Amino acid sequence: MDLIHLDDIAFPCIIGMYALEQERPQQLEVSLSLGLSLEAAADGDFEATVDYHGVLCDVQFVAQRGHFHMLESLGCALARLLLRPPGPAELRAQVQQARVTLRKPETLGEGPTPGVEINRSADEFIPTCAEPLRGIVAEALVKTRTTGVYRLLLSPGTRLSVGSGSSLQLIAGALRVADVEVAPHTMAPRGEVTAVVGAQGATVLCVSRPADLDLRAPADDASAVRGGG
């Protein structure tokens, strides 16, 4: 098994059990190891590997929008995200193994640095799927008491309304929110918005606080049907 390493990742985010940790961002250190065959990529096939920049952007989005209480929850969400089969419009290889290491160097001051290491393989995780609206499959990656992380697989032409408690980030495909084209691995505008999916479909990350999905059919879209949650 070949490995891709992404080390020395660091950014501020809200994470921790204590009240002060939920009020003030602290530095989070992240290391990732992705296991897959890189034989085809060695011949110059970009679709036979992963997009390093995209992975970094998506990891940071989940961590910073989630406001997690526990490193364990965030680590599992990231591992499951990295191991999912490619969704609509994603041009990348399937990752077979993932190791996610998270550390909080500021938590204990001059004391030891707390951290977790999550090791998972692609066949260990079967996501909980729902169809909250016609044209959408929602895969639950992690759902805690306060935060839900979902991967949304959107069919071409889908229209949906997103509540202010949900943050969206486009992974692949075409997504227009409030007449703004969202670039891949970029967060969509916040607030109560209506999104329209392009002709290729789209793969989208959704972080919801509170944890339940807040997706609805647009008020002027009589063809959309509300499904299970």
CATH number assigned to the domain comprising residue 153 = 2.60.120.10
pLDDT at residue 55 tops 90: yes
Q: Considering only CA atoms, which of 158, 142, 144, 166 is closest in space to residue 203?
A: 158
CATH number for the domain harbouring residue 60: 3.30.1130.10
Q: Where are any strands of DSSP class E within 104-219?
A: 115-121, 128-130, 136-143, 148-154, 159-162, 166-177, 180-182, 193-208, 215-216
In a domain, 229, yes or no: no
Q: Does residue 71 lie in a domain region?
A: yes
pLDDT at 221: 64
Does some domain include residue 226? no
Domain boundary among 81, 103, 124: 124
Q: Please give the span between the terminal C-alpha atoms of the chain, in angstroms, as a whole number.
A: 37
Whether 139 shows a pLDDT value over 90: the answer reads yes
Cis peptide preceding 210, ω within 30 of 0: yes
Q: Two tokens at 25?
A: 């961002």
pLDDT, residue 45, reads 94
What's the one-letter identity of residue 122?
A
Residue 203 in this model has a pLDDT that exceeds 90: yes
- 72 and 170 within one domain: no
pTM here?
0.92
- Please check whether residues 66 and 156 belong to one and the same domain: no
- Domain end call among 89, 124, 159: 124
pLDDT at 177 over 60: yes
Claim to verify: residue 109 and residue 57 sit in the same structural domain: yes
Tokens of 72: 């364990």
Residue 28: CB atoms within 10 A of its CB come to 26
pLDDT of residue 164: 86
Residue 173 shares a structural domain with residue 198: yes
From 98, 124, 150, give the residue that closes a domain: 124
Q: Are residues 78 and 144 in the same domain?
A: no
Residues 89 and 161 in one domain: no
In terms of domains, do 12 and 103 share one? Answer: yes
Domain encompassing residue 201? 128-216
* Coil/strand/helix, residue 66: helix
- pLDDT per residue as tens digits for the range 75-95: 999 999 999 999 999 999 999
- Comparing 225 with 132, the larger pLDDT belongs to 132
Total count of domains within the chain: 2
Same domain, 140 and 117: no
CB environment 97-115: b (16+ within 10 A), e (fewer):
bbbbbbbbebbeeeeeeeb
